[in-house]
Amino acid sequence: LRQDPHGNYHLQLAEIEAAGDELAANRPVTTSSSIEGSGWKRTAATDGVRNSAQGYSMGWSSLKSPTPTANEWITVDLQGSSLISQVRLTPRTDGVNTGLGFPVDFTVQVSADNTTWTTVADEHDHARPGAGPQTFSFARTNARYVKITGTKLSADQFGDYYMQLGEIGVS
C-alpha cells in the first residue's frame, strides 16, 4: 500500500472493471416461446455448449410456426450492467441439420433496462450458416440485456418454421 502524507496506508481505487470473454454464460433467458424437451430448452442457449447434442443440449428452439413470418425472440439477462461490443449466435450443429432454424431476418438489440432497446444489428436475407458462430460487432455500449428477434424464420428438416439457436455469446 502507499503511504499518504499523514503516514497512513490506503488502498484506493476509483473504479474496478471486470473483463471476460463470455458474459452470457449461464445467464437467465426469457423467450417468446420455447420447446422444452429432447435437448431443446431456454437454458441451453447460454449453457456454454456450442455443439448440438440430441437429448442433451441442442440449444433453444421456438415453438413451430405455420409461416416463416413469425415474431420470435430470446433475451439474455447479463445480470448487471456490462460494456459489450459483440454478440455471437451459434446455429444448431447436428450434422446435416446444421444451420437449420437460424433466422433469415432478425435484429440484435441491447438495453440497460429491458424497456428501451437499441438495435446493434439488423439482418435481412441471412444465408443458412455453417457450424461456426455468426458474429455481430458494434461500438462498445453499456447494456444489461441482449435480445435477438427473428421476423422471418427458416424451415427445419421437415419444412416447419422455427427460430433455433445453439448458443448465444456476448462480450
The domain spanning residue 54 has which CATH number?
Answer: 2.60.120.260
> Cα–Cα distance between 145 and 156 in angstroms, integer?
28
37-41, 55-59, 96-100, 150-154: least confident range: 55-59
pLDDT tier at 9, thresholds 50, 70, 90 = confident
- The three three-digit cell numbers of residue 159, written as one number: 419444412
- CA 23 – CA 131 distance, rounded (Å): 21
What is the per-residue pLDDT for 20? 58
Measured CA to CA, the distance from residue 169 to residue 133 in angstroms comes to 9
Residues 158-164, mean pLDDT to the nearest whole number: 94
Domain presence at residue 136: yes
3 within domain boundaries: no
Residue pLDDT, tens place only, 111-141: 999 999 999 999 999 999 999 999 999 999 9
126 falls within a domain: yes
In a domain, 69, yes or no: yes
Cβ contacts of residue 79 below 8 Å, gap of 6+?
Answer: 27, 28, 144
Domain count, the chain: 1
CA 116, CA 118: separation in Å to the nearest integer? 7
Residue 160 lies in a domain: yes
pTM over 0.85: yes
In a domain, 1, yes or no: no
Residue 12 lies in a domain: no
Domain ranges, residue 136: 20-170
Q: Provide the pLDDT confidence category of residue 108 given band limits of 50, 70 and 90.
A: very high
